[in-house]
Amino acid sequence: MGSSGINAEYMGAAELTQLLKDLRGYFDTVSKARTGQIVRTLIDRVAETPDSLQKCVDLCLESIEWCRERKRNFLRQRIESRLCAFYRKQKEYTVSLKQLHKTILEVKKVDDKQLLVELFLEESRIQEALRNIPKAKATLVACRANAASIYVVPLLQAQIDMQAGRISGEEKDFKTAFSYFYEAFEGYDSQEKPDIARSALKYMLLSKIMMEKPQDVDGIIRGKLPLKYAGPAVDAMKAVSKAYKKRSVKALKLILKEHEAELGRDPVIARHLKDLNGALLEKNLLKILLPYKRVELTRIAQLIELEVSEVEQRLSQMILDGSFRGILDQGNASVIVFDDEPENKSYTHAIGTVEALEGAVDELFLKAKTLG
């Protein structure tokens, strides 16, 4: 944008919005491609300013109306794509999906695959936020199908890889997730996007921990590329890996509290670490309960270094889930452990007998038919 682009870096959201309005007369004198580049750049500049989400939404809506008046459908559809992303960040998922589906139907008619890739990617993100993982995966497949037939710029490819990694993580396929996060990390690094690259690196380390390979974390951190991103976020993930290697629920809880800014505010990391904490607690409880027939809750809490209420709640859940055979004796504040029942193979043997008889009957029928 020439000198306008340089000056825009030092403007606030209000000044940038006014600049976009003032330039509309100038847009009539330049090409549509140039106009689109300037409008999208200014919207991105506004988005980079603090607390500007609502201003971005208002600016997009106003720009969409201007595009309708001037019949600039190509630019309007791209601004609508940005608008859906801003709605998602505001957690206005229903509004965002409604606008998104309307735009996708329109874009499909002109077969603009580049924009379809961006729109399907955005829908996948929204569906993931709504915890509709099957739908998020389906829209991501549509995104990648359209991307396969066109050239995808490295930054957009990194975004697709990042989303694919997140979906794989939700499906507990952390080996595949790690591969996608690694590709995304390299892509963001090559495009000089340090903040998002750091997030991809955190997800890589998280995947290794969730794969029960915390020992690999140190090796990844010491790599040539990850060394550039050393800092509190990477240190937090390293601390999590150390706590997991020790199999200490207490240490893991302390780390989550200590590094709240790096771990708790990221919904992806917070969600997976919550699952990790629960799984680790369950394994430790089963290990402690193994030699007992009856044990007091206070003793279990003392051994595992947690509150009695937390131990009781988790044991109740394990009994309901069937992962632990026993009951809680509320009167004596203790746990009664049942012996494992021997596996009853009567049903399996009966099925085998029926299958064998079925084969014998078929053979007798064929012989009888031949003799007849």
Within 13 Å and on the Cβ side, how many CA atoms surround 370?
Answer: 6
Among 71-85, 236-250, 255-269, 339-353, the least confident range? 339-353
Residue 8 is which amino acid? A
Looking at residue 100, its pLDDT comes to 94
Of residues 176 and 262, more confidently modeled: 176
Q: Give CA 305 to chain center in angstroms.
A: 31
How far apart are alpha carbons 366 and 217 in whole angstroms?
64
CA dist., res. 316 & res. 324, Å (int): 9
Q: Residue 11: pLDDT band by 50, 70, 90 thresholds?
A: low
pLDDT at 4 over 50: no
pLDDT tens across 76-87, in order?
Answer: 999 999 999 999
**Average pLDDT value for residue range 61-83:** 90
Map tokens 């976009």 to a residue.
20
pTM of the model: 0.80
The pLDDT value recorded for residue 2 is 44
Residue 281 has pLDDT above 70, yes or no: yes
Cα separations (Å) of 197 from 166, 183, 228, 272, 325?
14, 10, 10, 19, 45
Please work out, in degrees rounded to the nearest 5, the angle formed at the alpha carbon of residue 39 by the alpha carbons of 37 and 40: 65
**Main-chain dihedrals φ then ψ at residue 294, nearest 5 degrees:** -150, 135
Question: What tokens appear for 321 in the block?
Answer: 């889930």
What's the average model confidence in pLDDT over 113-132?
A: 94
| pLDDT of 160 | 96
- pLDDT value of position 206: 94
Instruction: Find the helix or strand (DSSP H, E) in which 296 lies.
Output: strand 294-296
Mean pLDDT of 155-173: 95
Q: What is the CA radius of gyration of the chain?
A: 29
Cα–Cα distances in angstroms (integers) from residue 142 to residues 135, 289, 344, in the given order? 11, 48, 47
In contact, 214 and 241? CB cutoff 8 Å = yes
- Residue identified by tokens 């200490």 is 248
Residue 346: per-residue pLDDT: 74
Q: First vs last Cα of the chain: how many Å apart?
A: 93
Torsion 273-275-276-280 (CA) sign: positive
171 phi and psi, to 5 degrees?
-90, 5
Task: Calculate the alpha carbon distances from 138 to 5, 116, 262 in Å.
Answer: 38, 14, 30
Question: What percent of the chain clears pLDDT 70, i.e. is strictly above it?
Answer: 95
Residue-level pLDDT at 99: 93
- pLDDT tens digits, 23-47: 777 777 778 788 888 888 888 888 8
